Amino acid sequence: MENQFMNQSQGMQGNMPMSMNHGAHEVLDVHEVLSAAIGAMNTFIFFRPHVQDPELLNILDRQYAFMLDEYNITAECFKTGQDPSHPTRSYKMQMGNDSKYGLSPGQPKQPMQSANEINDGIISGFLLSCHKMGAAGKTQAALEATNPVVRRVLQDSIPNCIEMAYELSLWQNKQGLYQIPQLAPQDMQTMLNMYGMAQKAKDMPN
């Protein structure tokens, strides 16, 4: 009886449709990824009418369009277990990657007292947080994914979250909203020279 049950179980797994080719951890984690993606896109839609800076508005619109397409192919491969209608694309930002370093005194940051205080700095912070959460969630889901297609789509989309977050941080830096401190030159040089090149261990094969 036990052998008969094992044979039936193995047969069911062998004939399992691709749409069921997911582990439990993967299903739960991808559910979180897709839910977070919906929340992120809703956030973009909600804040769009309040954006004042044309460059930030352009970033928001381009990122939203990209996120929508990426959400669709992720949901598609998750539902079918097969390749989506097109491969994961790479997000390309349209601004330079030069950062302004150093700190300047300013007003202390604090929570808003009223919804009327909403501004581009606050909005860009919300958008940036969406991408940070997306990168973390997709990384966790990719590490748990057993379906090879879903895993590949997730892992290929992580760099896009990073790139979109980077673009927003560059815009913030350009506006003086995100300042980048540096170490003193002597400390910086000490840190840069702290690590040397590694040599192959004697007992390890070539």
Domain of 37, in residue numbers: 23-89+118-206
109 has a pLDDT exceeding 50: yes
CA 178 to CA 180: how far, in whole Å? 7
Q: CA-CA distance, 153 to 89, in Å (whole number)?
A: 10
The predicted pLDDT at position 15 comes to 58
1 within domain boundaries: no
Give DSSP secondary structure letters for the chain: -HHHHHHHHHHHHHT--GGG---HHHHHHHHHHHHHHHHHHHHHHHHGGG---HHHHHHHHHHHHHHHHHHHHHHHHHHHSS--SSPPP-----S-----BB----PPP---SSGGG--HHHHHHHHHHHHHHHHHHHHHHHHH--SHHHHHHHHHHHHHHHHHHHHHHHHHHHTTSS-B----HHHHHHHHTS-------TTS--
- pTM here is 0.86
Is 28 within the bounds of a domain? yes
Instruction: Give the tens place of pLDDT for each residue, 132-163.
Output: 999 999 999 999 999 999 999 999 999 999 99
Residue 10, pLDDT above cutoff 50: no
CA 132/CA 109 separation, integer angstroms = 20
Does the residue 103 lie in any domain?
A: no
| Mean pLDDT comparison of 17-31, 60-74, 170-184, highest-scoring range | 60-74
Element (H, E) at 29: helix 24-47
The domain total for the chain is: 1
CATH number at residue 185: 1.20.1260
Q: Is residue 110 part of a domain?
A: no
The pLDDT assigned to 16 comes to: 57
The region of weakest confidence among 7-11, 20-24, 61-65, 82-86 is 7-11
Residue 99 lies in a domain: no
Is the residue at 8 inside a domain? no
Domain membership flag for residue 32: yes
Q: How much is the pLDDT for 108? A: 86
* 48 pLDDT above the threshold of 70: yes
Percent of the residues in the chain that have a pLDDT greater than 90, as a whole number: 74
User: What is the distance between the alpha carbons of residues 36 and 24, in angstroms, rounded to a whole number?
Assistant: 19
Residue 189 lies in a domain: yes
Residue-level pLDDT at 2: 44
Asked if 80 contacts 19 with a C-beta cutoff of 8 angstroms, the reply is yes
